[in-house]
Amino acid sequence: MKSQEYAVVDIETTGGNAGGSRITEIAIIIHDGLNVIERFETLVNPQKEIPVPIFALTGIDNEMVSNAPVFEDVAERVYELLNDRIFVAHNVNFDYSFVKHQLEEAGYKWTARKLCTVRAARKIKPGLYSYSLGNLCHSLDILLVNRHRAGGDADATALLLSRLLLWDTEGEIMKMIKKTSYDQRLPPNLPPEDFEELPEKPGVYYFYNQAKKVVYVGKAVNLRKRVASHFSGHKTSRQRQNFLRDIYSISYETCATELMALLLECTEIKKLWPVYNTALKRFEPKYRLYSYEARNGFRYLAIGKLGKYQDSIEVFHSQYDGITFLRNIAAQLEIDHRFCKYGRQDHDGLPVIEQQDLPDIEEHNMKIDEAIASVSKNRLSFAIIDKGRTEDERSCIWIENGQFYGMGYIPSDVAIADIEEVKDYINQYPCNQYIMQLLYSFAEKYPGKVVYKKTQ
């Protein structure tokens, strides 16, 4: 390997993600730690239109690149310059993802150790107002000309690298470029200490953006390993690259078990509604079973769309599930099918044509009450008792009348005579159907950890 040489790279592109955008200009400066020893710069024909906002930023338009080489024509030269050198860039993952992606398309298998000058500057010159290339050059009195062009930004980044190497009395850069260093994987704006503080325990973690707003919530069996997995690989999607750039800090809360982490993750997503969480946002019931009384005095059971603040006997994710449930309960209790509604219906009662041979109204309404009671009857109260975060406690999840009530921790030296006493140690959380599915599945799988409330 060459004696510690750096390839300082800057690119201009048609957009923000390597998977759907292309390089329009690339500059590579070879630096030996003291001086620039070689320089390469070229426009690149992206073989696609350059958007107007990109032209406004860089000044590169379709006409300028029309006679430029396509990336495949310069790929061999780019590979030769980068091979066996440390890849350096300001916000390195952005440039690295584009170059790696287009080298692979040209048939070159290439990886490199990386050095992010954003991260290096944060370590070596902490406390500055901003670490964008323009503001950093202004703060450190580094000449920056031809801004937002590959050559101008690469020249400034090379000067920045020279200064950082000179100021690096603690050997931070050497630590950062080791293959085992977390700096090879961590997002550019994330302080390494945030990651280093993560324990290898179950829990929930939070990613924050520059404005200190939560942008993602996740759960983990092992917090450190799970968070690290977000930063591994080289996916080129726009969402992933925006996601990594948005991470400025991490916090976490440990939990005793994976189940508690799941429950906390679910409630936190519902409360905080982070921009990069999508899966649990879609998990909402859309239909409900409800009862109403028509003007003729007969009680009805109906399946309908679930609206906000509407009372429900039961809720369902699909209309099919609701209809199946209502048909089964009607068959069990021999409820007249004319009083079961499976879609949007007026609540005025039966059409005239159906008002024959009606059941006794009092007996019928008692069956409706029985049906409602049978649903509620299955809503048991119970606790899930499991290991704690330490040997000095036990974890507890409380379900009251079929609804998630909350969770908490009980000191190991506390004796519980009545299982309802666990509520004294519980923090309340909101409930939803997804949470209840998790809890009932767990209770079925681990019956030895479940303690039911005694019925009177």
DSSP letters, 87-111, are EEETTHHHHHHHHHHHHHHTT----
CB 60 within 8 A of CB 44: no
**pLDDT tens, position by position, 51-70:** 999 999 999 999 999 999 99
Look at 371 and 89; give whichever has higher pLDDT.
89
**Dihedrals φ, ψ of 299, to 5°?**
-90, 145
The string of pLDDT tens digits covering residues 254-284 is 999 999 999 999 999 988 989 998 776 556 6
Between β-strands 450-452 and 382-387, what pairing exists: parallel, antiparallel or unpaired?
antiparallel
Confidence of residue 373 (pLDDT cuts 50, 70, 90): confident
The helix (H) or strand (E) run that includes residue 291 is strand 287-293
- CA dist 171 → 7, 120, 191 (Å): 19, 11, 17
Predicted local confidence at residue 98, as pLDDT: 93
Please report the pLDDT score of residue 378 as a whole number.
65
Q: Is the pLDDT of residue 1 over 60?
A: no
**Fold topology of 192-282:** GIY-YIG endonuclease (3.40.1440)
CB 257 within 8 A of CB 202: yes
Query: Mean of the pLDDT values across residues 399-412?
Result: 91
Strand, helix or coil for residue 165: helix
What does the domain layout of the chain look like in residue ranges? 6-184, 192-282, 287-377, 382-452
For 177-217, how does the pLDDT look when each residue is reduced to its tens digit (9 = 90+)? 987 777 777 888 888 889 989 999 999 999 999 899 999 99
Q: Which of 215, 329, 347, 248 is nearest to 291 (CA)?
A: 347
Q: What percent of the chain has pLDDT over 70?
A: 93
- Listing from the earlier edge strand, what are the strands of the sheet with 299-305? 314-316, 287-293, 299-305, 340-341
Please determine, for residue 36, whether its predicted confidence score (pLDDT) is greater than 70: yes
pLDDT, tens digit, for every residue of 127-183? 898 899 999 999 999 988 888 899 999 999 999 999 999 999 999 999 999 877 777
pLDDT averaged over every residue in the chain = 89
- Stronger pLDDT, 311 or 112, i.e. the higher one: 112
Best CA proximity match to 163, nearest among 136, 197, 181, 189: 136
Question: Which residues lie below 8 Å from residue 128, measured CB to CB, with a gap of 6+?
Answer: 121, 135, 136, 139
pTM greater than 0.85 (yes/no) = no
Question: At residue 433, does pLDDT exceed 90?
Answer: no
pLDDT surpasses 60 at 312:
yes
Give mean pLDDT, residues 2-28. 89
| Residue 445 reports pLDDT greater than 90 | yes
> CA triplet 168, 170, 175: central angle to 5 degrees?
90
For 244, the 3-state DSSP assignment is: helix
Which pLDDT tens digit goes with each residue over 218-231? 999 999 999 998 88
Name which CATH class applies to 6-184: alpha beta
> pLDDT tens, 321-354?
889 989 999 998 999 988 998 876 656 666 655 6
DSSP H or E stretch at residue 259? helix 258-272
Say how far apart CA 170 and CA 97 lie, in whole Å: 29
pLDDT digit string (tens) for 40-50? Answer: 999 999 999 99
Whole-number Å distance between alpha carbons of 120 and 126: 9
User: Stretch 1-22: mean pLDDT, rounded?
Assistant: 85
Give the active site residues.
148
Give the span between the Cα atoms of 155 and 88, in whole angstroms. 12
Parallel, antiparallel or unpaired: strands 340-341 and 314-316: unpaired
